[in-house]
């Protein structure tokens, strides 16, 4: 295999979700055994896929008359798997609207919950755990 082919294969491998990586490795092992006599290969056993337990959001109920900052803390605790830096742009804009433009806290918190849910779904999609 040339260096270019190896680099391309590694580049493709890095873009795959964990489950797809497992499939690629199983296929590569299969291809490797094709040229060997069956007696030297033995039975083909593809290991069962490991069930990956995906982290779920914690069940932290929304209290009545919750403040925006308290809601941010609650949602951050509810979704500990999310990268807070990725949420910063969306959430800071809403907090600013609440403080500077007096946008009602209930509207802001409703929208914050949508943002956290959307980021969680993106996280699941990116980690191949949907």
Cα–Cα distances (Å) from 103 to 62, 66, 94, 96, in that order, read 19, 14, 9, 9
In the chain, the number of structural domains is: 2
Q: Count other Cβ atoms within 10 Å, centred on residue 34.
A: 7
Length of the chain: 130
Please report the pLDDT score of residue 37 as a whole number. 61
> Is residue 59 in a domain?
no
Total-model pTM: 0.58
Mark whether 73 and 108 lie in a shared domain.
yes
Residue of higher predicted confidence among 12 and 58: 58
Q: Is the pLDDT of residue 30 over 60?
A: yes
| Residue range of the domain that includes 13 | 3-41
Quick one: 28 and 76 in the same domain?
A: no
- At residue 55, the pLDDT reads 84
Asked whether residue 61 is domain-assigned, the answer is no
Is residue 112 a part of any domain in this protein?
A: yes
Please answer whether residues 62 and 74 qualify as being in contact, where contact means their C-beta atoms are separated by less than 8 angstroms: yes
* CA distance linking residue 1 with residue 79, whole number of Å: 44
Q: How far is CA 87 from CA 25, 51, 112, in A?
A: 34, 28, 10
Determine the pLDDT at residue 31: 66
Nearest-angstrom CA–CA distance, 126 and 63 = 31
Question: Is 109 within a domain?
Answer: yes
Backbone φ and ψ of 17, nearest 5°? -70, 160
**Is residue 63 included in any domain, yes or no?**
no
- pLDDT for position 36: 62
Q: 102-124: per-residue pLDDT in tens? A: 999 999 999 999 999 999 999 99
Which residue, chain included where needed, has tokens 């910063």? Answer: 88
| Residue matched to tokens 């491998």 | 13
- CA-to-CA distance for 45 and 77, rounded, in angstroms? 42
């Amino acid at each position: 295999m040339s260096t270019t082919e190896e680099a391309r294969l590694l580049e493709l491998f890095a873009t795959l979700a964990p489950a797809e990586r497992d499939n690629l490795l199983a296929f590569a092992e299969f291809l490797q055994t094709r040229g060997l006599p069956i007696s030297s290969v033995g039975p083909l056993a593809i290991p069962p896929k490991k069930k990956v337990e995906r982290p779920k959001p914690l069940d932290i109920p929304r209290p009545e008359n919750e403040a925006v900052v308290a809601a941010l803390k609650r949602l951050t605790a509810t979704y500990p798997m999310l990268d807070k830096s990725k949420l910063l742009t969306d959430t800071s804009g809403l907090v600013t609207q609440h403080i500077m433009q007096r946008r009602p806290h209930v509207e802001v918190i409703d929208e914050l919950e949508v943002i956290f849910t959307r980021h969680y779904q993106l996280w699941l999609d990116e980690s191949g755990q949907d």
